[in-house]
A and B are shown apart, each in its own frame.
Chain A
């Protein structure tokens, strides 16, 4: 049956003569006539009593007791027993520390009083900050020498970039500070000036080639005990750490080896990135009888403009690494979806996300000046007006700070 036939079923008297028109705004006219208070809700009576009575209180559920099905058969003593694998110390025996002076009861009272009055001052530089847990956490030993291996810091090693950027255990340094080789001072421990030191600077995350190994940035060997670095043989020339764009933080370690005779490392002095890649554990294994690691320091760096210039000066291009996200799971696109879909979300779903981001960026460049890209304090100061005039999908774009809208103010140019 057609529409006309359906309409004929209704007597003509009851058919409407005109189509119900789209609502014209009539409230403004009433307001103009009766004043601004015409449609104000009355706040002197309880208006929505009915509605208020029905608001549910938030339901509080007791916390679940979680039982791990894999472990719940074991007894407590079994659970508590932590199977420890023996760690192998490949270095020297730990040095005996100076015995600290026992504090008297009066001293303790005094210290307690000072700390209560916020007057107790501790000199951080005098504290022993050698903590191998940090190295274990960052898997420095594991990635250098293999699993379950460690050594103690027994020789004092100071590495300073540009005089005051010291290398401790895992601190961050910008790539810009590491452009020139650091000042290294090594404690003299040999009796009568015997023995040699070898300093090795390695980037544990810098190997971009398929070959296994780490990137050696600097290798100075056969430094006579108690002498400066200049007296050693520079096997591998200094190259600043090159954390590529998008590869995050790189761990760069300084390892100090101790040996009694001169060592020939037999590494070709090639300075290209591929020739600098060597497996440190293999290198150590081949000279194991002579070398003993005695100190380690490491720091972390990430990409910086100086990396780009350094790569360009080497005649290379600066590679950009990007995380490849898995494609979002989405239904096959239909030219006309059967059920009504929100048009903007539906069409955006099948657009290339990069193109969407590019679109946002172009919009940003159109409206924001390059020297002023700060996020405004208020997302939408004109909210009331926008809520009335803009369609909801457009207003959502303005309000959006997460998701696609995030790129508007947070985007690396």
Chain B
């Protein structure tokens, strides 16, 4: 019971790969690389594509899967087979752009139960400035009024 119509309807939801063979700026419609405002809600909408493809750690680092890791794997060497599966970091510029495409909700630190990323939400042994140009802490939680010894003990890296 194989009909052409049935198969085409099955694959309809998937983008035909030939039509977007060339990846380029022309294939990204204008509304995707702008910060959009929703008329109905009256405020910024987060870019859904970024949320689909990237993850933001609580310390401000964005990570993403290696693009093109499924392409022609059999042709490529073993090192690549291994390293292509890594989740990679973004550069500072990319992180800033991605932050701008988000709403404040997504920039807030998030804590989930049994989070596999929980060990990576804080940076250790780093000595770049803690404060941005506006005087806000970059990698740290907002300060709660607390005596120093408790803060040192429980919130050293937060």
Mark B6-20 against chain A: 1 for CB-CB distance below 8 A, else 0: 110011011100011
Are B89 and A392 in contact, CB atoms less than 8 angstroms apart? no
Interface 0/1 of B44-87, CB less than 8 Å to A: 00000100110001000101011000000010000000010111
Q: Tell me if A45 is interfacial: C-beta within 8 Å of chain B.
A: no
The distance from the CB of A144 to the nearest CB of chain B, in whole angstroms, is 47
Question: What chain B residues lie within 8 Å of A30 (beta carbons)?
Answer: 7, 10-11
Would A342 and B92 count as touching, CB distance under 8 A? no
The segment from B22-30, B102-110, B146-154 that touches chain A is: B22-30
- Judge whether A344 and B120 touch: CB under 8 Å: yes
Q: Is A371 at the interface (CB under 8 A from chain B)?
A: no
Taking CB atoms, residues of chain A closer than 8 Å to B26 are: 6-7, 9-10, 14-16
- Inter-subunit contact A393/B29 (CB<8 Å): no
> Are the C-beta atoms of A29 and B120 separated by less than 8 Å?
no
Question: What residues of chain A lie closer than 8 Å to B7, measured between beta carbons?
Answer: 30
Instruction: Enumerate A259-275 residues with CB–CB distance to B below 8 Å.
Output: none
- B95 on the A face (CB < 8 A): yes
Report how far A272 CA is from B22 CA in the complex, Å: 82
> How many angstroms from the CA of A255 to the CA of B80 in the assembled complex?
63
Instruction: Report chain B residues within 8 Å CB of A83.
Output: none
Min CB gap A394→B, angstroms: 6
What distance in Å separates the Cβ of B157 from its nearest Cβ neighbour in chain A? 10
Residue of A nearest to B82 (CB): A392
- The range of chain B's interface size is 35 or more
Q: Which partner residue on chain B sits nearest A12 by CB separation?
A: B26
Q: What B residues does A138 contact at CB under 8 A?
A: none
What's the least CB distance linking A224 to chain B, in Å?
66
Task: Mark out the residues of chain A between 329 and 345 whose CB falls within 8 Å of any chain B CB in the assembled complex.
Answer: 333, 335-338, 340-345
Indicate whether B131 reaches chain A with its CB closer than 8 angstroms: no
Q: Which residue of B lies closest to A356 (CB)?
A: B119
B87 in contact with A335 (CB, 8 Å): no
Chain A's closest residue to B70 (CB) is: A23
Q: Which of B6, B14, B52, B92 is close to A336, meaning CB atoms less than 8 Å apart?
A: B92
A18: which B residues are within 8 A, CB to CB? 29
Q: Are A16 and B29 in contact (CB under 8 A)?
A: yes
Determine if A34 is an interface residue (Cβ-Cβ < 8 Å).
yes
B-binding segment of A241-249, A317-325, A347-355? A347-355
Q: Which residues of B contact A337 (CB under 8 A)?
A: 89, 91
Residues of B contacting A7 in the complex (Cβ-Cβ under 8 angstroms): 25-26, 28, 30
Q: Mark B97-139, 1 if CB is under 8 A from A, else 0.
A: 0000000000000000000100110011110100000000000
Q: Which of chain A's residues 98-118 have a Cβ closer than 8 Å to chain B?
A: none
Residues of A within 8 A of B10 (CB): 26, 29-30, 33
The answer to whether the Cβ of B90 comes within 8 Å of any Cβ in the partner chain is: yes
Q: How far is the CA of A20 from the CA of B13 in the complex (A)?
A: 11
Q: Which of B14, B30, B92 contacts A4 (CB 8 A)?
A: B30
Interface centre among A18, A350, A352, A394 (most CB of B within 10 A): A18
Instruction: Give the residues in chain A near B61, CB-CB below 8 Å.
Output: 336, 343
Tell me how far the C-beta of B2 lies from the nearest C-beta in chain A, rounded to whole angstroms.
7
| Most A Cβ at <10 Å: residue of B86, B126, B128 | B86
Contacts of B124 in A (CB 8 A): 347, 350-352
Tell me how far the C-beta of B43 lies from the nearest C-beta in chain A, rounded to whole angstroms. 22
A26 touching B14, Cβ below 8 Å: yes
Does any Cβ of B come within 8 Å of A64's Cβ?
A: no
In this assembly, does A69 line the interface, its C-beta being within 8 Å of a C-beta of chain B?
Answer: no
8 contacts between A and B (CB under 8 A): A4-B33, A7-B26, A15-B27, A16-B20, A26-B10, A33-B6, A342-B83, A391-B65
Which residues on B are within 8 Å of A, measured CB to CB?
2, 6-7, 10-11, 13-15, 19-20, 25-30, 32-33, 49, 52-53, 57, 61, 63, 65-66, 74, 83, 85-92, 95, 116, 119-120, 123-126, 128
Q: Report the 3 A-B pairs with minimum CB-CB distance, sorted nearest first.
A: A392-B85, A342-B86, A340-B88
Q: Kindly list 15 other residue pairs between chains A and B, CB separation below 8 angstroms, not including A26-B13, A344-B87.
A: A3-B25, A3-B28, A15-B27, A19-B28, A19-B49, A26-B14, A29-B10, A33-B6, A336-B89, A342-B86, A343-B120, A347-B124, A391-B87, A392-B85, A392-B86
